[in-house]
Chains A and B, each alone.
Chain A
Amino acid sequence: MSDVLAGGRGRGRVGPSLSYAVVNTVVRFAPLLLLALGWEFLGLSGLVSRQMLPGLGEIFAAFSDMLFGGDLLYNTMRSVSRAAAGLGAAVAVGIAAGLLMASFRPVRLLINPVVQIFYPMPKSALIPVVMIWLGLGDSSKILLIFLGCLLPVVVGTYNGARGVNPFLLWSAASLGASRFDVLREVVLRGAMPDILNGCRTALAFSFILMVSSEFVIATDGVGFMISSLGDGGQYPAMFAAIFFVAGIGFAADRLYALLSRRLLRWREA
């Protein structure tokens, strides 16, 4: 499991002391602090206009205005619910498709070329297409997110399922498992590490597509908010919205990593 921006798995296994944890946290977030200092320095030095890099204090003030003024949370909810719908559907359909591809040759022959061709395509290229198909409402964005998130899940599931030790399948069968039992209890379970990795990629894609689709086709949502604040010249508020959505994405990723570590406890044992 690749771990972005955090300690590798196995951290905390021996219960580090509190001071160790504090030092560790400081070291881990020190680069962010340096980035903030650099930001402030660039703004104050006059090398870059204050409009392009507003002071962090201004950004924070704009943030609390938006937070308590209400429309930041509302727009975030709108965006996240679209992302969740698209991602959820992609995970369900993607796992089923990947398992079927791995288990049945005709399905594999049918789906594999489609996956190969569409995998490298930037899914944001579909924004005009889904707009023509489904208009400006929620459904077009949900479809886009679904399409964008689908292939990483399919590919992860397929690779994982193909990689399951075949002797495990035979063992299960010789212990009395039916073909369906084997698929559900052995192939799906054995493929879980790769499925979870695929879903993590899909999670990141869902955030990218959520924001970028709202730039183009939306009347609400965080992406819409960022672009309209930018258009209106409200740069501190725009940056506040950008940082906020980055924070939500980060939190979602950490939460996801935590969840998958629980599901894969047997690997760390």
Chain B
Amino acid sequence: MSVTHLAPSSRSRAHAASSISISDVSHTYGARTAGGMLALDGINLDIGDGEFHCLLGPSGCGKSTLLYLIGGFIPVQAGVISTSAGPVTAPGPDRSIVFQNFALFPWKTVKDNVLYGLKKAGIAGPEREQRAQRYIDMVHLTGFENAYPSQLSGGMQQRAAIARTLAVDPGILLMDEPFGALDAQTRRVMQEELRTIWRDSRKTVVFVTHDVQEAVFLADRISIMSARPGRIQHVIDVDLPKERGEEILENRDFIGLSEHIWRLVREQAVAATRGAH
């Protein structure tokens, strides 16, 4: 895979990589009714410029909610979320997102999906075409430019969605369990590719997952969240080599850290189950 050309070019209207600052953010679903559910409680977190950060926790811990708040998809009720560009108030191409179920436009071909954000950015003519092609090539979908999403496998659809998101060159890349719907083999390949893409494009990534191994493999830092209400219980530095391939799965530090984190997550999951009784 050739990714050396991925560094944003000066004329491509790149959004500069950005830090994220989350202070005292709480979120209640159904806040206007009596039975509102507190999903996030007093979240404080700073994510550095160019950091790969994983939000890890059992289902129902509010990790996706936190991601959607950063994305500006749901309004911040309490607290402040800001990036280098200022406080987050609405969605924008500086914080583009990849969803678990791809969310490709089903009526557009792969190429037209990738072109969509570039058109919105006002990039025209041959540069637009070249840039779309570059990202399609990068995710190994060369030859599938004119295929509709329904003609592609899950892994290919997710590659297309990643290409569409990367093409707008967001400073912050938000990923909501992007590999959750893929089979184990494909997931492994995609994780390695994402690592490479991230390393070469120097973006800030916020990646939501409930898979401990995935988090350890990908992240610089991991936030472990508790369930209902979602709180950040631990923030863990992943002190592993930057270069991570298949071989790291047998690295003793990798295994040790995974087990340590697994125990911490398990505590949260068990607590959540008890809390439910």
Contacts and interface: CB of A to CB of B under 8 A. Distances in A.
Chain A partners chain B? yes
Contact of A174 (B92, B106, B150, B151): B92
A175 B107 contact: no
B256 to A, nearest CB: 37
B153 to A, nearest CB: 14
Interface stretch (A33-41, A56-64, A141-149, A164-172): A164-172
Majority secondary structure, A binding face: helix
Report the contact-size class of chain A (Cβ under 8 Å from the partner).
10 to 19
A189 B107 contact: yes
Contact of B96 (A165, A175, A190, A267): A175
B128 interface: no
Q: Which of B101, B116, B148, B161 has the most CB of A within 10 A?
A: B116
Interface in A191-233: 192
Nearest to A168: B103
A266 B148 contact: yes
Contacts of A173: 72-73, 90-92
B120 A266 contact: no
Contacts of B73: 170, 173-174
Contact of A177 (B104, B120, B165, B170): B120
Nearest to B106: A266
A186 B99 CA distance: 16
Contacts of A167: 99, 101, 103
A171 B120 contact: no
Nearest to A186: B105
Interface in B112-152: 116-117, 120-121, 147-148, 150-151
Interface of B is mostly: loop
B171 interface: no
16 contacts: A168-B103, A170-B97, A170-B103, A172-B105, A174-B71, A174-B92, A174-B170, A175-B168, A176-B120, A176-B121, A186-B105, A192-B107, A266-B150, A269-B147, A269-B150, A269-B151
A170 B107 contact: no
Chain B interface size, under 10 / 10 to 19 / 20 to 34 / 35 or more? 20 to 34
Contacts of A172: 105, 116
Shortest beta-carbon contacts, A-B, top 5: A176-B120, A175-B117, A173-B91, A176-B93, A167-B103
Nearest to A192: B107
Nearest to B174: A174
B105 A168 contact: yes
Contacts of B148: 266, 269
A267 B97 contact: no
B151 A175 contact: no
Nearest to B95: A174
B164 interface: yes
A170 B104 CA distance: 11
A80 B61 CA distance: 60
Contacts of B117: 175-176
A170 B91 contact: yes
A267 B106 contact: yes
Given A171-B103, A267-B106, 19 more contacts: A167-B103, A168-B103, A170-B97, A170-B103, A171-B164, A172-B116, A173-B91, A174-B72, A174-B165, A174-B170, A175-B116, A175-B168, A177-B116, A189-B107, A266-B106, A266-B107, A266-B150, A269-B147, A269-B151
Interface string B56-90: 00000000000010011100000000000000001
Contacts of A165: 103
A65 interface: no
A263 to B, nearest CB: 9
A2 B143 CA distance: 34
A119 B99 CA distance: 38
A192 B97 CA distance: 25
Contacts of B103: 165, 167-168, 170-171
